[in-house]
Amino acid sequence: MAAPPGEYFSVGSQVSCRTCQEQRLQGEVVAFDYQSKMLALKCPSSSGKPNHADILLINLQFVSEIEIINDRTETPPPLASLNVSKLASKARTEKEEKLSQAYAISAGVSLEGQQLFQTIHKTIKDCKWQEKNIVVMEEVVIAPPYQVENCKGKEGSALSHVRKIVEKHFRDVESQKTDVLDAPPLTSRNHVLPGVGRDWAQFPVGREKPAVPEACVPVPPSPFPARPRCSLRSEIEVEPGCRLSFPKMAAGPGRRRRLLQLLMQFGSVLLTRCPFWGCFCQLMLYAERADARRKPDIPVPYLYFDMGAAVLCASFMSFGVKRRWFALGAALQLAVSTYAAYIGGYVHYGDWLKVRMYSRIIAIIGGFLVLASGAGELYRQKPRSRSLQSTGQVFLGIYLICVAYSLQHSKEDRLAYLNHIPGGELTLQLLFILYGILALAFLSGYYVALAAQILAVLLPLIILLIDGNIIYWHNTRRVEFWNQMKLIGENVGIFGAAVILATDG
């Protein structure tokens, strides 16, 4: 619809107007819409930069006075060319971002996940939602609750970079919370705090009222909260004599999580290095037997392959390369070598010593199966195998049954305990009951973490007081020195498996 003569503005004319707030605006007419009475003016840049200008949109219904300073009658200059493809690409990108936000809200993604997505998207544009998971560069998947340990993907620079972004994001969030909570407390005496809850028209605080208040469209609340600041935007009244303060943020959960991660890594180190100690003790043991012209448990040609396989699996487990596969290989190697030593018949052990040796080997195999299930991994990339973990727990339960059996039917083990623990027979029976309860927990799969915690506390005392009594075992019971050292190392490995289950069970 064309505007009547005298009621329109020519493009390029200089116009000056005064708003309802007595604000004087002057500039060059860029566009004018008669139906909506909207006038677009180009004014000098408020930043003072050359070749820049401010575009003001003015609703003439809220203008009290308008004056044409210089009316342009000639043909207006052609419009500047626009990069339509760039604008379309930008609009498409904005649309995808808004749709992504709407999808996250409809999928029930937590507020922390939405904030993390925004942080990652600022750095890496190739970021999208897949149900409740964040997929970055089609390589890294971040699952709820969106912590560093929930970042899964192929090891490499992409996974490392995403983990750093996630870690920095949560560190910044914690620091912002700490800044807000550590702010000095506000005090007042039965009146509204200054600068809070004031009427905008009467008390403008650091800003001017909008030129067209009726044209302002109400904006729905965003699902992404603004950055916390040390100021309040609502009316707060405090009773006389009262002090307004905020409780400090408890930093316990973060420290506890880091402590559990350190303990879990410590247990993994003990368990994965156990084969190295076993091979070293075997070499020293067989060297002693060679002096006495006694044969090793496994014939020499096969012994080299056995130790080579043990060292290979232990090396890859220690470096964290395909740890699950090599933990499974270490369990298989230990089972095969034990069976070969048992059927070889080159060395004869007493029944009580066989129970001590083979029960510990069974427990170490169980520990390797637990490791092969995915337990003990700081950044787990694949789901944990519950079947392997359950099998490993059963093996640990068998070991505890053997220990409880030895306390009742092995004179050698009973004397080792009675000579070093206070309470005598009563304490021995209590230990028997405790071992039985722990064995039932591991075999049934109930309260495994609690049972592993108790075992992790008990084993260091057993290693120091019972297994560490070298004089008793070597001189009195004629156990070979390096064989006893091997048993001590195996108990240390069992302790590592218990620590893993106690912290990541």
Q: Are 350 and 373 contacting, i.e. CB atoms less than 8 angstroms apart?
A: no
Bridge partners of residue 40, in order along the sequence: 31, 57
Rounded Cα–Cα distance for residues 137 and 165 (Å): 14
Q: For residues 327 and 313, is the Cβ–Cβ distance under 8 A?
A: yes
Q: For 290, how many CA atoms within 13 A lie in the half-sphere containing its CB?
A: 8
- Range with lowest mean pLDDT among 240-244, 259-263, 402-406: 240-244
Predicted confidence (pLDDT) per residue in 18-58, tens digit: 888 888 888 988 888 888 888 898 888 888 887 888 888 88
DSSP 8-class letter at 186:
B
Nearest to 395 by CA among 373, 366, 435: 366
Q: How confident is the model at residue 183 (pLDDT cuts 50, 70, 90)?
A: low
Predicted local distance difference test score (pLDDT) of residue 492: 95
Give the 3-state secondary structure of residue 50. Answer: coil
- In this predicted structure, the answer to whether residue 388 has a pLDDT above a threshold of 70 is yes
Q: Which helix (H) or strand (E) holds 29?
A: strand 24-33
Write the burial class of residue 399 (CB in 10 Å: 0-12 exposed, 13-18 middle, 19+ buried): buried
Which domains are delineated in the chain?
14-70 (2.30.30), 95-181 (no CATH), 263-504 (no CATH)
- The pTM of the full predicted model, rounded to 2 decimals, is 0.52
Strand order, beta sheet including 63-70: 53-59, 38-44, 24-33, 14-19, 63-70
SS3 299: coil
Cα–Cα distance between 145 and 155 in angstroms, integer?
21
pLDDT given at position 7: 62
Q: Quick one: pLDDT at residue 292?
A: 76
Residue type, 185: P
Closest CA to 228 of 175, 271, 184: 175
Residue 65: which of 12, 26, 8, 10 has the closest Cα? 26
Residue 367: Cβ-neighbour burial (10 angstroms; 0-12, 13-18, 19+):
buried
| pLDDT given for residue 372 in this prediction | 92
> Tokens 């005064």 sit at which residue?
18
pLDDT, averaged across the chain? 80
**pLDDT for 308-332, tens place per residue?**
999 999 999 998 888 899 999 999 9
Q: Are 241 and 480 in contact (CB under 8 A)?
A: no
Q: Which of 131, 240, 118, 115 lies closest to 190, judged by CA?
A: 240
Residue 130 has pLDDT above 90, yes or no: no
Q: Give dist(CA 386, CA 396) in Å, integer.
A: 15
